[in-house]
Amino acid sequence: MLRLVTPEEIMGRAIRPFDAATLEQSRAVVEAVRARGEAAVREQAERFGELEPGEALTVGPEGMRAALEGLNPDTRGVLQRTADRIRRFAEAQRACLTDLDTGVPGGRAGHTVSPVDVAGCYAPGGRYPLPSSVLMTAIPARVAGVGTVVVATPSRDPVMLAAAELAGADIVLRVGGAHAVGAMAFGVGVPACDVIVGPGNRWVTAAKHVVSAVCGIDMLAGPSELLVIADDAADAAVVAADLIAQAEHDPDALPCLVTPSRGLVDRVNDELARQVRDLPTAEITRASIGSNGFACVVGSIEEAVAVSDRVAPEHLEILCADADRVAGMVRHAGGIFIGARSAEVLGDYGAGPNHTLPTGRTGRVRGGLSVFDFLRVRTWLRMDHAVDVAIDAVALGRIEGLEGHARSAARRL
């Protein structure tokens, strides 16, 4: 059941995506891949049972195509419809960002929007295959115009290869963990990636932190989070179902409820006990709810929003009588799900927006994965009559003690 906590206890929580030991272990793996290449990748892959000795490290277009053709029609239809929805949303996002050409004193300036050359898309596959993560990462990369899209996953389920084919990936790296991240960063078995994106466990996340010195990454995401703001209009069975859906991800997941109604907390706890009884993932779910889950009773919906903004949760559900008004008050969250019909799992499974979202309060500074993570906004400047700007540049150069700057600007006078 959800334990009761105060707003002050929530404010004091510190969530980190990985600890020092994990970082040290991941750094060692990444450095081994950098130094020894494929031998180091295979060493780790065989250690974790991802590859047999001599087995191919990658799967190309023919293998992906064969996996898609081998799917039963119902599964293929689900993946195709999900891919279509993700693609349409990504295309709408891409259309929002265009090139710029504007006048500046003495000339013109602007920016161009262009994709990176190679993107690496990580998709977890430990307990279960996660084709949704393949679609959510590779499709935005392809919509952005990335030239080569690499998918890395340790899962051996053909559905992952089929998803990669539907997403437009070029190659699949058949390993996971820190060694997969290192392989994508340094070009081992696949082209070296300009950016690496996608969710993963703490070793994957730590490895992304390590390689961020040589390539771009999307974010350092930790355990998954769901915060529900609800009032007495909320259906306790729905709230409980949504918290369970989050809790079954991982024993470290964070399912929480913030509400002005103590009665709702009691009803939700009753529902949690009832709904978990016959759940196949009950062990993980109970561990998550028991260790990390909490409920916070506040004085008003406005206070609930203030608590949520402090947490800046990965997923924020608003199950209130006036959900649109409450959503308009929120400042910090990775993804917002407004109203009783907007289950967070619909976002997970491809309604449109991406399910790779910031955790650990980083929703205060960035949003979820999108086409924008694969695009570069590069500025340009053309000066035809630089007199006024050059005069000021000379002065600023001398104010800052950089006479070479001043003389370079003076050459334009």
Q: Which residues are catalytic?
A: 314-315
d(CA 329, CA 324): 9
d(CA 409, CA 413): 7
3-class state of residue 93 by DSSP: helix
Q: Give 373's contacts (C-beta < 8 A, 6+ positions apart).
A: 140, 195, 197, 216, 218
d(CA 63, CA 68): 9
H-helix or E-strand spanning residue 271: helix 262-276
3-class state of residue 264 by DSSP: helix
d(CA 298, CA 165): 48
3-class state of residue 173 by DSSP: strand
C-alpha dist (Å) from residue 153 to 18, 133, 212, 258: 20, 10, 19, 36
d(CA 236, CA 214): 48
List strands edge to edge, sheet with 107-115: 100-104, 107-115, 375-383
User: Please, are residues 148 and 118 in contact by the beta-carbon 8 Å criterion?
Assistant: yes
Angle between helices 177-186 and 202-211 (to 10 degrees): 20
| Cα dihedral across residues 174, 214, 198, 224: positive or negative | positive
User: Please, are residues 407 and 396 in contact by the beta-carbon 8 Å criterion?
Assistant: no
d(CA 353, CA 346): 10
CA 69 to chain centre: 29
Among candidate residues 226, 270, 230, the one with its CA nearest the CA of residue 245:
226
